[in-house]
Structure 1
Amino acid sequence: MKYFLPFCMLALLTVAGCKNAPSETDAPLQGAVDSINQSPPRPGSPPLAARLYEAFEQYREPAITNLRFKHSDITALLDSLPPEFEVTVLGASVEGRSISEVQLGEGPTPVLLWSQMHGDEPTATMAIMDIFNFFQARGDGFDSLRAEIKEALTLHFIPMLNPDGAERYQRRNVLDVDLNRDALRLQSPESKILKAARDRTQAVWGFNLHDKNRYYAAGDSPETASVSFLAPAFNTDKDINEGRADAMQLIVLMDEVLQQYIPGKTGRYDDTFEPRAFGDNMQKWGTNTVLIESGGLKGDREKQYLRRLHFTILLTAFEAMANGTYENWPREAYEDIPYNESGDFHDLIIRNANRLYESQSFLTDLAFRHREIDYQDARKYYLRGSLTDLGDMSTYHGYEEFDAAGYTIVPGKVYAKALPDVAALRQTDLQSLVRQGYTDFQITNLPHSSVSAQWPVALLAPGKQPNNTIYQYGNPSFLLEKAGQYDYVVVNGFIYSLLEQNPAFDLPQ
């Protein structure tokens, strides 16, 4: 296993009802002006949310266990839905993959939800499949909730709007068009399908469901923006009409639910009007639009915990829309949600290391990120590290951090003897060799990169010399030395301890 420092370990909060993280509004009042500017207090998280959260596992769709599912996986699930769900093929993507709508309920308020407008943003699609399972259940204590929602709302789901992008696990469609910037020209068939669905349903509410990269921070805090919201503007002046105000109130409710499980880890987007974007235009066309984006959460790279939270907040929102209780939430509290800070997070930050250059020592922080490299038709991926920044990283945060004060960076060496295969490497005392400064090993029958990336050392083709120099965008292997001893090694953007026997050096099989 990789070495993770105790003070960086994630403690997922999985008990409903825990206290919110402190915020500016918790501070003592400084005078009348501060009192006036404070947002009204929020009602407590709806009890329904805790019940849904606790019950989630019985509705989790077992056919989907990670983010890289395909169009065929979703169509198989839609084909198996009972008659209560009205499934309609609305059209096809550029490459001819079907785009379907699932309608549920017969209430007077139409609600439109679309997911995977960007093909590599699948968290909400997973949650929608779980919600379909929820609506099929009976006798679990939620029958009255299902009846209330279906009597008040007509839900229109468009899961996987961009199936060609999903097939490649890429953001844009096969024409390389960003569908979320195609609301005016409607140059792609997928965009036309979404616009036609909005016009046909005359949706009162719209949920624009996305993912974002894992490197956003929640404001200037050391917390990831694990879920972010936006009630998009409908004009350049960012005016707030009744519909946009309703969306803000609903967001405040959902944010309060999330604070019970990921306190301090929510954010909101800047509401500068984007005239080509679907969310902004949906708001302009009269649909109360809510953007929800799933970001990064330590220990949840496949977003299965965020999937659970998505399920919880969507169903809680449906109830609030059905009975109008979203109106109890103060719109002003929307402004208390911190803005996303893009790029503030890295996968690993090594702080305060000594870096030698021509016999001079310089204090240096090193920040790494891991890029997902697709293989097996984009159904799988492996991680490739990159030294994305170095220098003073004191204002940035890491999913994992290591204080290397007193340690010196020493570039790794290549083991002189070429080994026939990884089985031979496994027979060595690998950790002992690394303690001697060897980080790179020549393998005659080099395995696929997806296998090499799992090793705590770098695997090379015979005769190939690595570049373990410290420079931006490189992927150096190096050791951290103190008092003549190597205590840690960094390979492919991961840090491993050498202080005691580390199981990572026995892997992979």
Structure 2
Amino acid sequence: MKNLIIVFLACCCFAPVQAQDANITTQLYDSYEKYKEPTLNKRRIKHQDIQPLLAAFAKNPKFKVTKVGSSIGGKSLNLVSIGTGTTDVFLWSQMHGNEPTATQAIFDILNFLDSPDFAEEKQAILNNLTVHFLPMLNPDGAELFQRRNLLGVDINRDALRLQSPESQTLKRVRDSLEADFGFNLHDQSTYYNAERTEKPATISYLAPAYNYEKDINEVRGNAIKIIVFMNSILQKYAPGQVGRYNDDFEPRAFGDNIQKWGTSTILIESGGYPEDTEKQEIRKLNYVSILSAIYTIAKENYKDIPISEYEKIPENDRKLFDLKITGATYELMGKPYKIDLGINQVEVDYEDHNDFWYSSRIWDQGDLSTYYGYENFDATGYILKEAKVYPKVLNSLKEMKNLDYQEILKSGYGYVRSSKIGNTQLNSPLPFHIISKNYQVPEFLLKPGINPTFFLEKDGVLEYAVINGFLINLKESKKSLIFLFAKKNAMLFR
């Protein structure tokens, strides 16, 4: 009975904390566009993109911008600091070069801190805290939109050996600040879901363990309390879409070690959100939840939050596909089989790593009843049909654009031959594959790893096409198909 009373009292204390910060959180969310940094509007951002922003803050007397190191490739690593408080909060982003969401959010937060708005709240933050930002720790990786640095090392597994200059910089800055709180900001796969639900893990949290036993001391406990608070914020804007990362101790990881070194460390992983390829809504959620957390640290409202709430956040799982097709009939060797397909639309970078195209794959097939999709199609009663090759060879992309796309697809053609394919062309901007004059289309045999291209027939009529993993309703007009493929693509096979 005594333990129940303690838990009840702790929860009662937590409720006023939520209520106290609800207003500022709502205002932050509603006013976000005012502070969003407009020059960082896509994921593939580079070191050169943030230099003008850092230069502007360096000239601003509110901020202190310090070069604290260089990458292997010689790109500067910079620390932006603001505030006069005795509690130090340290945020670093993009130690993996292809994880840029929080870097964008950091510059949104800096814009907010530079504005005259929210004067009372900012006074509380800047009088009680000194906040330090190290955006884009791995600029060489960002240049190539890859996880690792130029040495081929995962910086987040270099906390012990410290062989990379980026790792050395992170350790040196953390030690010099003796930061009280740390925010380790990452992106995770968009295919993570909140365990046993169809909802993506849009944001996942972790208070990293500092030993194999996963003990909770005051340092880790404070990180857990901040996470519980941030989860309560996000449930308002992305209900059910928060996950909890596995907390097995990794002795080489920075988060685990920074926790061990005495900084209450919060890992934030930005995952997926429907219809948010460039993660701009997730960026907004980072902005709101991180700023709210900083404010809560400044006000010390987190202290009464019960750590028992942490375990109630569902764990991460990985059971999402971009497209899940359920219950289709697949005919093999004259026999019909019921089959589910899990399809992922895989991004492939262009050579300059400024943009990408899709090369989709069947990721899994069979009984996928325990899996989910961002897009779902119940194919009960539909038969999977092989995509055919258009009988006429065309001479140019211009000639192909004059085709009646709807009629091509309704006739079951998923491939169109071209006598001329440009050397630099990598994919098809049209809702069918472009193939060379001599290319032989493989036999239609479903298996994981192949490009998903086929039709769905019902009662003898083709009603849907799947071209490069994208589901197309064959009732769509040519205009609609052009719009649909404005940000999608089919494949090019030479």
After TM superposition, the score normalised by the length of structure 2 is: 0.93
Gaps of 5+ in 1: 1-30
Q: Which moved more, 1:165-174 or 1:431-440?
A: 431-440
Aligned counterpart, 1:112 = 90
Asked whether the equivalents of residues 381 and 450 of structure 1 are also in contact (C-alpha less than 8 Å), the reply is no
Alignment of 1:422 with 2:393, yes or no, is: no
Aligned counterpart, 2:331 = 356
Aligned counterpart, 1:301 = 277
Per-residue CA deviation, residues 41-76 of structure 1 (Å, 9 max, x unaligned), is 652462211110111100000111101010011112
Alignment of 1:486 with 2:457, yes or no, is: no
Per-residue CA deviation, residues 404-435 of structure 1 (Å, 9 max, x unaligned), is 00010011000121111222122121211211
Aligned Cα root-mean-square deviation (Å): 2.0
Pairing of 1:50-61 with structure 2 (within 5 A): 50-61=26-37
1:220 to 193, 196, 211: 196
- Distance across 2 between alignment mates of 1:409 and 1:80: 57
Pairing of 1:461-476 with structure 2 (within 5 A): 461-467=436-442, 468-476=444-452
Asked whether the equivalents of residues 357 and 427 of structure 2 are also in contact (C-alpha less than 8 Å), the reply is no
Greater relative contact order (Cα < 8 A, sep 6+): 1
Aligned counterpart, 2:420 = 445
One-letter code of the match for 1:85?
Answer: F
Alpha carbons of structure 1 residues 490 and 130: separation in structure 2 relative to 1, 3 Å:
same
Alpha carbons of structure 1 residues 506 and 307: separation in structure 2 relative to 1, 3 Å:
closer
Alignment of 1:40 with 2:18, yes or no, is: no
2:152 to 161, 176, 190: 176
Alpha carbons of structure 1 residues 337 and 83: separation in structure 2 relative to 1, 3 Å:
same
For residue 238 of structure 1, give the secondary structure of its aligned residue in structure 2: coil
Using the TM superposition, give the Cα deviation of residue 466 of structure 1 relative to its aligned residue in structure 2, in angstroms. 2.0
Pairing of 1:125-164 with structure 2 (within 5 A): 125-138=103-116, 140=117, 142-164=118-140
Alpha carbons of structure 1 residues 119 and 212: separation in structure 2 relative to 1, 3 Å:
same
1:455 to 425, 430, 443: 430
Q: Which moved more, 1:178-187 or 1:74-83?
A: 74-83
Aligned counterpart, 2:291 = 315
After TM superposition, the score normalised by the length of structure 1 is: 0.90
Alignment of 1:379 with 2:349, yes or no, is: no
Asked whether the equivalents of residues 453 and 492 of structure 1 are also in contact (C-alpha less than 8 Å), the reply is no
Asked whether the equivalents of residues 95 and 164 of structure 1 are also in contact (C-alpha less than 8 Å), the reply is yes
2:372 to 391, 394, 397: 397
2:253 to 277, 291, 294: 277
Aligned counterpart, 2:71 = 93
Per-residue CA deviation, residues 283-307 of structure 1 (Å, 9 max, x unaligned), is 1000000000100111111010111
- Distance across 2 between alignment mates of 1:453 and 1:381: 13
- Distance across 2 between alignment mates of 1:349 and 1:101: 44
| Aligned-pair identity (%) | 43
Per-residue CA deviation, residues 226-284 of structure 1 (Å, 9 max, x unaligned), is 00000111111111001111111110110011000000000011111110000000010
Asked whether the equivalents of residues 208 and 255 of structure 2 are also in contact (C-alpha less than 8 Å), the reply is yes
Alpha carbons of structure 1 residues 213 and 220: separation in structure 2 relative to 1, 3 Å:
same
- Distance across 1 between alignment mates of 2:423 and 2:323: 25
- Distance across 2 between alignment mates of 1:286 and 1:401: 46
Alpha carbons of structure 1 residues 107 and 37: separation in structure 2 relative to 1, 3 Å:
closer
- Distance across 1 between alignment mates of 2:267 and 2:395: 53
Alpha carbons of structure 1 residues 147 and 471: separation in structure 2 relative to 1, 3 Å:
same
- Distance across 1 between alignment mates of 2:11 and 2:468: 48
- Distance across 2 between alignment mates of 1:159 and 1:506: 38
Alpha carbons of structure 1 residues 128 and 354: separation in structure 2 relative to 1, 3 Å:
same
One-letter code of the match for 2:204?
Answer: S
Pairing of 1:233-248 with structure 2 (within 5 A): 233-248=209-224
One-letter code of the match for 2:481?
Answer: F
Using the TM superposition, give the Cα deviation of residue 395 of structure 1 relative to its aligned residue in structure 2, in angstroms. 0.5
- Distance across 2 between alignment mates of 1:422 and 1:172: 38
- Distance across 1 between alignment mates of 2:280 and 2:476: 32
- Distance across 2 between alignment mates of 1:357 and 1:383: 28
- Distance across 1 between alignment mates of 2:480 and 2:360: 17
Asked whether the equivalents of residues 343 and 452 of structure 2 are also in contact (C-alpha less than 8 Å), the reply is no
Using the TM superposition, give the Cα deviation of residue 449 of structure 1 relative to its aligned residue in structure 2, in angstroms. 8.1
For residue 239 of structure 2, give the secondary structure of its aligned residue in structure 1: coil
- Distance across 1 between alignment mates of 2:336 and 2:4: 49
Per-residue CA deviation, residues 25-48 of structure 1 (Å, 9 max, x unaligned), is xxxxxx999999999365246221
- Distance across 2 between alignment mates of 1:359 and 1:163: 55
For residue 185 of structure 1, give the secondary structure of its aligned residue in structure 2: coil
Gaps of 5+ in 2: 487-494
Using the TM superposition, give the Cα deviation of residue 500 of structure 1 relative to its aligned residue in structure 2, in angstroms. 4.7
Using the TM superposition, give the Cα deviation of residue 98 of structure 1 relative to its aligned residue in structure 2, in angstroms. 0.5
Per-residue CA deviation, residues 351-371 of structure 1 (Å, 9 max, x unaligned), is 100000111000000111011
1:367 to 322, 342, 361: 342
Q: Which moved more, 1:36-45 or 1:259-268?
A: 36-45
Task: Give the number of aligned pairs.
Answer: 476
- Distance across 1 between alignment mates of 2:425 and 2:301: 50
Greater than 4 Å deviation, 4+ residue runs: 31-39, 447-451
For residue 465 of structure 1, give the secondary structure of its aligned residue in structure 2: coil
- Distance across 2 between alignment mates of 1:92 and 1:290: 25
For residue 417 of structure 1, give the secondary structure of its aligned residue in structure 2: coil
One-letter code of the match for 2:25?
Answer: A
For residue 420 of structure 1, give the secondary structure of its aligned residue in structure 2: coil
One-letter code of the match for 1:218?
Answer: A
